[in-house]
Amino acid sequence: MSKKIRYVALLRGINVGGHHKVPMAELCSVMTELGFENVITLLNSGNVIFDASARRDEELEATIAGQLEKSFGFPVPVLLRRSEEIRDIVDNNPFENIEVTKDIRLYISFLKQVPSLNLTIPWASCDNSFRILEIRDRTIFSVLDLAVTQTTKGMDVLEQFFGKDITTRNLNTIERIAGTIG
């Protein structure tokens, strides 16, 4: 019997603005039908925690994305992280010196591949409304100031630099995922 690993699947672009609706109960059923165990969905933004036999992350991502497209009728990009990667993000996030106000958002973005972009870090937009604090492996840590700009502008910057194989969560969501992982 192969060893079970706790994974987090982060789905991109579902349940946003009434488009690409994926009910969490149906998502949980699809994941269970794929043979995954202890499946938990968290929030409505496409965060799925599950146990699976150890195999290549890319293979699991492709399997899940293929089944989700078949089940829901549209492509659902999937980025996978192992539970220890999520715990490491929470334990070692670079936000401790950021003063959080009602307008400050702390974001963690996940990439499929380690970026090849040579960007001087920390990086800041011209108006200093969006800052990339750190790039660690396939993870980007950024800060957005809503008093100066809108969320979509910060996400547009990330896509310009890193492409569309990216999904972003706020720090609170990642902390909730880490707390649910167990």
Share the mean pLDDT of the chain: 92
Reported confidence tier of residue 55, pLDDT bands at 50, 70, 90 = confident
Closest CA to 112 of 41, 59, 154: 59
Residue that wins the pLDDT comparison between 17 and 31:
31
Note the pTM of the prediction, 2 decimals. 0.92
72-83 per-position pLDDT tens digit? 999 999 999 999
Reported confidence tier of residue 149, pLDDT bands at 50, 70, 90 = confident
Helix, coil or strand: residue 45: coil
Mean pLDDT value of segment 159-181:
94
From residue 89, alpha-carbon distances to 101, 123, 173 in Å are 21, 20, 12
179 with 43: CB under 8 angstroms?
no
